[in-house]
Amino acid sequence: MFQLLRPLVQAIQPWLVPFCFFSAWTIVGLLGWSVWTATRDTIARSRQMHRIPCARCQFFTSDYHLKCTVRPSTALTEEAISCPDYEPCASIYPANRQTLS
């Protein structure tokens, strides 16, 4: 059986090295391209998420039961980017708004 395949292998042997070289660099190029697009998409998504102003709003409660007292259904979502009820927090430290007793 292998004696029948020997002429076929000898016929394709001169093209085997260039084909493998091209295939290997194609795989490396596709890997680099996918890493580049994943990084680009991640940066674009993080920029979009950083535009959400909820954490800096005076109506934000930092409680997972009621995130916002005015618009709880859109708090911390992309719909909140253009919130008409946004009021900047007057506190210097918005994450620590609870008064100490």
Residues 28 and 45: their CA atoms lie apart, in Å, by: 26
Q: How confident is the model at residue 55 (pLDDT cuts 50, 70, 90)?
A: confident
Residues 69 and 75: their CA atoms lie apart, in Å, by: 9
Residues 89 and 56: their CA atoms lie apart, in Å, by: 6
Using only the alpha carbons of the chain, give its radius of gyration: 29
Provide CB contacts within 8 A for 101, sequence distance 6+.
Answer: none
**Chain centre to alpha carbon of residue 16:** 39
Of the two residues 94 and 10, the one the predictor is more confident about is 10
SS3 call for 89: coil
Q: Where are the domains of the chain?
A: 19-50, 52-96
State the average pLDDT for the chain.
87
Residues forming a β-bridge with 60: 68
Q: How confident is the model at residue 93 (pLDDT cuts 50, 70, 90)?
A: low
pLDDT at 78: 92
- Check pLDDT > 50 for residue 101: no
